[in-house]
Structure 1
Amino acid sequence: MAKLFPAIVPELRAFIEKQQMFFVASAPLTAEGHVNMSPKGLDCLRILSPERVAYLDLTGSGNETSAHLRENGRITLMFCAFAGPPRILRLYGHGRTVLPGDAEWATLRPMFVDYPGARQIVVADITRVQTSCGFAVPRYDYVAQRATLLDWATAKGPEELEEYRAEKNACSIDGLPTPLGDQLTKEPAS
């Protein structure tokens, strides 16, 4: 049974903070474009206010969310209770990407763990908060976060990560440019 909330109320904040992972969904405006859904783990989400959240986004094989946010801003974050009472929580809103060098980066970045491979922060202004039953979500026992992505980023090092981002993160699979791609292609100031 779906229930709407005016914002992220304390009960829902406590639920979010207990989750070991969440999912991020976004889509381009064109019907031919690909809808994206990405799982996020590690300690990377912060609730900035009852109407705003942010997550530290690490370097990965794509950058779909950032491209979609640049184009249309639409974003949904979903949290599922894999332990305890069943529940699904969706945060609908409009997001933007904050890059290293942006004025807001200096304020937001210290709020997060210093993970290797951090490429951007996604900030979402929440316009709808909705729970649903989650009765069909299976129960799982949490074991641990994987270190694979962190180990990969550490092994690459800053220069190889920058090269990787230029190759893999400058645009979406549908060819939409990302803010990171814009930053990578800027001419250096003379």
Structure 2
Amino acid sequence: MGKQFEAILPEHEAFIGRQHIFFVASAPLTAEGHVNVSPKGHDALRILSPNRVAYLDMTGSGNETSAHVDENGRITVMFCAFEGPPNILRLYGTGTVVLPDTPEWDALYPRFVSLPGARQIIDIDVHLVQTSCGFAVPFMAYEGERDTLQRWSVQKGEEGLRQYRQEKNSRTIDGMPTPLGKSL
């Protein structure tokens, strides 16, 4: 078992700031439901306090995390060192989904770089931080961000994104409704 902390320490914040990708895991309460793990890139995560982070969630082909968080709040965010000394850092917490056109969105969204295709913010109260060795994680060199999603979002336009989200982001693969689907 790795080392456990009650909050994000300055050294954890520095490590998180150097990472180019993070992974988000969530699951529904039902045993038949699928566990979801999603990679997240771009400059999309903000540390709001030692026990609170948020990330700007972009339009994608699914919306599992949003529905799982809406149902039960459980969420884990994981960072891996692909460069430098080995390290894995996990943030265990309880999340909430923040949709556009809400006071919570208006308070959080200005903290992020504006990216085409932003669909929601996942706001997380962190109750446990854990680090572990990461000895088996390979070295990989960062070459840059892909702009595919941003170009796709711009090409779709707001109305096209709304229709896409209604079709692809309203329900999970298990049929659970998402907060975004409830608002469309």
The whole-number CA distance in structure 2 between the counterparts of 1:44 and 1:58 is 9
Structure 2 equivalent of residue 88 of structure 1: 88
- In the TM superposition, structure 1's runs of 4+ consecutive aligned residues that sit over 4 Å from their partners are none
Q: TM-score, normalised by structure 2?
A: 0.99
Identity of aligned residues (%): 67
Structure 1 equivalent of residue 159 of structure 2: 159
Give the length in aligned residue pairs: 184
Could you say what secondary structure the match of 1:121 adopts? strand
Give 1:1-150 correspondences, 5 Å limit.
2-150=2-150
Unmatched segments (≥5 aa) in structure 1: 185-190
Q: TM-score, normalised by structure 1?
A: 0.96
Quick one: which amino acid aligns to residue 138 of structure 2? P
Quick one: which amino acid aligns to residue 61 of structure 1? S
Structure 2 equivalent of residue 187 of structure 1: none
Unmatched segments (≥5 aa) in structure 2: none
Quick one: which amino acid aligns to residue 36 of structure 2? N
* Cα deviation code 1:128-164 (max 9, x no counterpart): 1000000000001110011111111011010000000
Instruction: Quote how far apart the aligned CAs of 1:171 are.
Output: 1.1
Could you say what secondary structure the match of 1:90 adopts? strand
Instruction: Quote how far apart the aligned CAs of 1:102 are.
Output: 1.4
The whole-number CA distance in structure 2 between the counterparts of 1:108 and 1:6 is 24
The whole-number CA distance in structure 1 between the counterparts of 2:20 and 2:136 is 19
Instruction: Quote how far apart the aligned CAs of 1:103 are.
Output: 1.1
RMSD, matched Cα = 0.6
